[in-house]
Amino acid sequence: MKRFPLVTKSLLYSVVLVFSVYNHSIAASISFGGASASDGSGLTSSFMDPLNGGLSDYFIETFDIATGDPLYPGSSDYTVTGFENECAVNSLNNSPIGVSVTANSNEIAVRQGSVTSVAAAPANDSTCYGYATNNGQGTATVSFDYTNLLNYYSNLYGGTTQLGITYIGFYWGSVDIYNDFEFYSGGSLVSSITGSSLLSQLGGSSGNQSDPDSNAYVNIAFSIAEQFDTLVINTSDIAGEFDNIVIGLSTREIPVSAPGATLILLFGIAMLAIPKSRQS
């Protein structure tokens, strides 16, 4: 998983969606678009580029060995045979900040290129990408658990600061109505976004491999109260494709001298305003 300082570009087309959470609803800011990625992977977050980096406290999973930490080359456990020299889950780096990816080995894969009835690379993405597949039965679930990353950076603050993720961006390829992304905190569902809701907002068609309205870079900004630690991707059909997953950390001070005092909320980097624009 890669961390960089500096560089930002404008986001494209922003709206607000209401996510269903248990028996009530909360609002989160969502925008579609982003920036052209420097490595040929199509779209990335305006906060983080695969090769050129970005803002401090933002991290990216590109699924490409070339963009991983050279000291920790990542894991090829899920890499399709023939792509071992190019592709890896580079945030699984056996370091204290490694991200735990949990899935059945036949329900997640990393590769380049498209294969009919298997997986389609996100539009204009010539690099490695990840995908989930149910292999024709049931629902496949892939979990990205960021707990180790959050604990690592919390300890850098001397244990007096809780960390959470209040920004996530991801390139969602050929969005299908049977795919969805869910966000959890401590095992509890915070919110989710479905392929159906995204296609409805953009006017795209399910499974279209080239239409910009069906291959979107999704940016979601959560409030401090909504911050999460685990991303879960579900698909109930052939595949759900994704690339350039970017997260941004927020900080929240823990009172140590007055245990009964109200927590002071520090909005930090993850509550940056998201400007409006439109995908080209």
Q: What is the pLDDT of residue 94?
A: 59
Is pTM beyond 0.85 here? no
Nearest 5°: CA angle at 79, between 75 and 84? 80
Give the C-alpha separation, 263 to 53, whole Å. Answer: 33
Q: What is the pLDDT of residue 95?
A: 66
Give the C-alpha separation, 224 to 238, whole Å. Answer: 35
279 within domain boundaries = no
Domain encompassing residue 133: 2-271
280 within domain boundaries = no
158 within domain boundaries = yes
Asked if 69 and 95 count as a contact pair (C-beta separation under 8 A), the reply is yes
204 within domain boundaries = yes
Asked if 142 and 102 count as a contact pair (C-beta separation under 8 A), the reply is yes
Asked if 179 and 240 count as a contact pair (C-beta separation under 8 A), the reply is yes
Q: How would you write the pLDDT of the chain (280 residues) with one tens digit per residue?
A: 554 332 222 233 333 343 333 333 445 788 898 999 999 999 999 999 999 999 988 999 999 998 877 776 788 889 999 999 999 987 765 566 778 888 888 899 999 999 999 999 999 999 999 999 998 899 999 999 999 888 888 888 777 777 889 999 999 999 999 999 999 999 999 889 999 999 998 999 999 999 999 999 999 998 888 889 999 999 999 899 999 999 998 875 444 333 322 222 222 222 223 333 333 3
- Structural domain count of the chain: 1
Asked if 83 and 66 count as a contact pair (C-beta separation under 8 A), the reply is no
79 within domain boundaries = yes
Q: What is the pLDDT of residue 93?
A: 53
Give the C-alpha separation, 93 to 90, whole Å. Answer: 6
37 within domain boundaries = yes
User: Cβ atoms within 10 A of the Cβ of 177, count?
Assistant: 17
Tell me which H or E stretch contains 49.
strand 48-49
Three-class DSSP category at 200: helix
